[in-house]
Amino acid sequence: MHRTPPTRVSALSLIAVGIAALATVGLVALRPSGPTPTAPALSSFDAIYRARIVERTERTCAGAEEGVKCVETAFRLVEGPDEGTVVRVEHPANSGRVGPLEVGQRVLLGHQPRVQGFEYVLLDPDRRMPLLALAAAFALAVVILGGWRGVFALVGLIATLLVLFLFVVPAIMRGQDPLLVSLVGSVVIAYAALYLSHGFNSRTTIALLGTLGGLGCAALFATVFMALTHITGFASEEALYVSVVGSNIDIRGLILGGMIIGALGAIDDMTVTQASAVWELRAASPQISDRRLLRASMRIGQDHVASTVNTLVLAYAGASLPLFILFVLSEQPTGVVANGEIVATEIVRTLVGSIGLVASVPITTWLAVRTGRTRARHEPLMIPPREPEGEGPEEHPIPEHRRDVWAPWVRSRR
């Protein structure tokens, strides 16, 4: 009995299933287990309560020289054991903490009952409602523009957050290798985000494999150049604190894992767009050769890479802009500034992500071109209807199941 050989689509699907199985094994092997590590509290407050500003008075600071102004702000607590009580807090008038505050505004107060005279301390304006409103506006915009695909994209975003907060962070806190945890978590995120947002089809599978290929390149370069540049991960205050309270955490591996997770977002955007470009070019010109399709698709990929790499650099530069200003004010040579571990870490992070981005383009394009040709052989050629042009013989529609046979003859007659 003759058997049809497996298509490339089936082969890629089997590869995707195999990688998913390995990721599942990784999830089980690296799953967070045991008690949660404890650490000293980040603040001395017993609790944080909401309050509303009911009065704001500017006057001379108590015990200070004449002309030194302070702002006394009265807060009415809206929750907590002292709900309804009015407490007063004094700050210098030039303090940035009280500058933007107005009567009627909601704030957060830290409660420290053991400190007499300073039981309540002003922390921040209560920004939670504006942030929730912004998140709702974002979700609404995604759903209006994307429809059901937008809904599934939001589900994929939620899945991403769940993987980060239920697997990646707890596993690292319990002493698992941050690099392995980040790689497994990134693979799981890629599967959830891509298949939920774009559906279970061969195009998504190609984008997924291209994403994993680019991610592997980024992981390789990150590992090599973290070693070559001797980045320890102890340049930031956050890393120093984590190293103190979490003795089992590999700080260098934590920075490395962060680079991999950070590169994932840009890479999957690139691969989805690239796979879609190949599909649309193939649909617009079914008879195009693989070589011409590859060239045309790579030209699209080159434009996308150029813009996306710039986006990565701007994103990291924007996040580190205050740091850049401090280095400029220090009047140090550029080479000395770049040699500092904080700046060097950001340089490695940016370039590693860009390398993974660039590597994902040819991988995705080649897979899409090869798989698209196999797919096209099994799909009938759809011939658009002709408009009548004056007198002539009556045209009869070709049955759809025979269009692939009659297509060359029809084109030659036209």
Single out the residue of 145, 356, 380, 123 nearest to residue 259, CA to CA: 356
CB atoms within 10 A of CB 244: 10
Output the pLDDT for position 321: 76
Structural domains in the chain? 47-126 (2.40.50.660), 131-377 (no CATH)
Model confidence at 89: pLDDT above 60 = yes
Model confidence at 1: pLDDT above 50 = no
CB 43 within 8 A of CB 110: yes
With bands split at pLDDT 50, 70 and 90, how would you rate the model's confidence at 403?
very low
Single out the residue of 297, 227, 318, 311 nearest to residue 269, CA to CA: 311
Output the pLDDT for position 265: 79
Most confident of 107-111, 213-217, 235-239, 333-337: 213-217
Output the pLDDT for position 68: 73
Q: Lowest mean pLDDT: which of 97-101, 150-154, 279-283, 410-414?
A: 410-414
Tell me the average pLDDT of the chain: 79
CB 182 within 8 A of CB 260: yes
CA angle 356, 318, 300 (to 5 degrees): 40
**Which structure tokens are listed for 99?**
């500058």
Q: Which residues contact 196 (CB under 8 A, 6 or more apart)?
A: 152, 153, 155, 156, 159
With bands split at pLDDT 50, 70 and 90, how would you rate the model's confidence at 409?
very low
Higher-pLDDT residue of 396, 344 = 344
- What is d(CA 285, CA 233) in angstroms, rounded to the nearest whole number? 51
Model confidence at 118: pLDDT above 50 = yes
